């Protein structure tokens, strides 16, 4: 995710236009995981480029609303993924639970490991966009909420803070730090509804038992604070961004 990205076009708000800017390339990687009912959304794992960014000074990392890791590329690696998975396995063992986990066939996801209480089903190569439930709208919904929060933050500063009256979106977003990004992305994950999750699993043919269904036919709603003229481009700016190192690290 380009966590500082702003629209290239104008933002229509209070009958005024805010000139946008080129996309900021500062990135984080976010791991999302949830069950088919949407009742168990795992805490997000966020990967940044620095383990102790300046904004984390005097901060207990365990107090963050996400699980935070870092490497120089801000991408997923086996050395980050395995501890995350093992912590979850330990949690499941304590509860006496067993689950089936659908996961991408990526090099950072090891296949030669005992997953204990988790039965892992690796998806066939090059099928993520076709049969991966999170890729059927859940991640898109998360990003829509995040970008709505970021643009809303920019516009509030311009409207309410005299120090930012003449600032551009890029100038303000450049002040966004990883700490603020982790809060926004965690809030965005909370905003993704069970209906959205169930619909996306259903689109992959993974239907819930009749008594558990809460699926509605209409499209998922994303409430935005503002109108972005080039919303689709802005929304999908980082869709093709590699999120893991193709080597096993």
The tens digit of pLDDT for each residue in 206-230 reads: 877 665 555 454 444 454 444 555 6
The tens digit of pLDDT for each residue in 87-134 reads: 999 999 999 999 999 998 888 888 877 889 999 998 888 777 788 899
Structure token digits, residue 35:
């069950």
What is the predicted pLDDT for the residue at 62? 92
What is the predicted pLDDT for the residue at 50? 94
Residue appearing with tokens 């999908």: 236
User: pTM for this one?
Assistant: 0.84
Digitized pLDDT (tens) for each residue of the chain, 249 residues in all: 999 988 765 554 443 444 444 455 689 999 999 999 999 999 999 999 999 999 999 999 999 999 999 999 999 999 999 999 999 999 999 999 999 999 988 888 888 778 899 999 988 887 777 888 999 999 999 999 999 999 889 888 888 888 888 888 888 888 899 999 999 999 999 999 999 999 999 998 887 766 555 545 444 445 444 455 566 667 677 887 778 765 555
Average of per-residue pLDDT values in the chain: 83
Domain boundaries, the chain: 11-235
């Amino acid at each position: 995710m380009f966590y500082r990205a702003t629209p290239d076009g104008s933002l229509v708000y209070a009958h005024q236009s805010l000139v946008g800017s080129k996309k900021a390339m500062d990135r984080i990687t976010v791991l999302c995981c949830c069950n088919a009912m949407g009742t168990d959304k795992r805490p997000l794992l966020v990967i940044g480029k620095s383990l102790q960014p300046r904004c984390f000074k005097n901060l207990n990392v365990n107090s963050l609303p996400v699980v935070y890791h870092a490497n120089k590329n801000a991408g997923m690696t086996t050395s980050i993924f395995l501890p995350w998975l093992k912590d979850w396995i330990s949690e499941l063992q304590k509860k006496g639970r067993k689950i089936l986990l659908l996961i991408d066939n990526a090099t950072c996801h090891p296949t030669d490991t005992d997953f204990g209480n988790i039965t892992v089903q690796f998806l066939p190569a090059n099928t993520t966009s076709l049969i991966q439930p999170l890729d059927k709208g859940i991640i898109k919904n998360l990003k829509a909420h995040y970008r709505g929060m970021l643009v809303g933050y920019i516009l509030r500063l311009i409207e309410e803070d005299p120090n930012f009256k003449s600032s551009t979106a890029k100038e303000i977003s450049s002040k966004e730090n990883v700490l603020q990004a982790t809060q926004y992305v965690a809030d965005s994950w909370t905003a993704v509804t069970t209906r959205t999750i169930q619909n996306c699993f259903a689109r992959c043919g993974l239907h819930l038992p009749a008594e558990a269904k809460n699926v509605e036919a209409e499209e998922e709603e994303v409430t935005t604070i503002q109108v972005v003229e080039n919303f689709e481009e802005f929304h999908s700016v980082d869709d093709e961004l590699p999120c893991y190192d193709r080597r096993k690290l």
